[in-house]
Homo-oligomer: A and B are copies of this chain.
Amino acid sequence: MTTEEKIFNAARIIFQKKGFAGARMQEIADQAGINKAMLHYCFKNKELLFQAVFMNAFSQLAPQINEIFNSKASVFDKIRKFTNSYISFVILNPYLPQFVIQEMNNNPEFVMSFLRNENRPNPTVLIAQIEKEIADSIINPINPKQLLINIIAMTVFPFAAQMMVKGMLQISDTEFTAMMEERKTSIAEQIINSIKR
């Protein structure tokens, strides 16, 4: 592993845990097992290092969303596919959703520019498809954007609000992971039940 990779991985861990403002360059250096000066040698400054980490995180999320959203499957199958593969992905990167949401909140201008490029998660095709299936009486009438929010909420929320969920339900990390495994298949059926004719 190159030094640059060591730094990048360390930065990802620290930034995801503490956010941009809370993270310390010294902490990242310690985590990477190298000297603080190397961070500046490799990434110029904190801002640029953060951007590298954030863009990487963000760009991991988008493509697989679009792949599913724009496939030829039915709405129901897309819901199954999305929830299942997305939860699988987020179980491996549990801090990602909270990190992205937090930094979007603290730094809207920066992120919004991001959401205008061609790689952004783009639900246009899926929205049209939902409207069509409603017209074809496959799905009960619903505002497609609301349905989209529902799908993402059911999938992403428990990870974004991990501490809150664990605290409220008083469950351990192990129990939490088990519940998320269960959600991989269960929530698709919940959502489909709620809209099917």
Contact = CB atoms under 8 A, between A and B. Distances in A.
Interface in A119-159: 120-121, 123, 142-143, 145-146, 148-150, 152-154, 156-158
A102 B160 CA distance: 9
Q: Looking at A17, A101, A171, which has the most chain B CB atoms within 10 Å of its CB?
A: A101
The A interface, classified by DSSP as helix, strand, loop or mixed, is helix
Contacts of A53: none
16 contacts: A19-B21, A22-B22, A98-B105, A101-B163, A104-B161, A105-B163, A120-B168, A121-B168, A143-B182, A149-B157, A149-B158, A152-B165, A156-B157, A160-B160, A160-B161, A193-B194
CB-based closest 9 A-B pairs? A153-B157, A21-B22, A194-B194, A115-B167, A21-B21, A104-B163, A157-B157, A193-B194, A190-B194
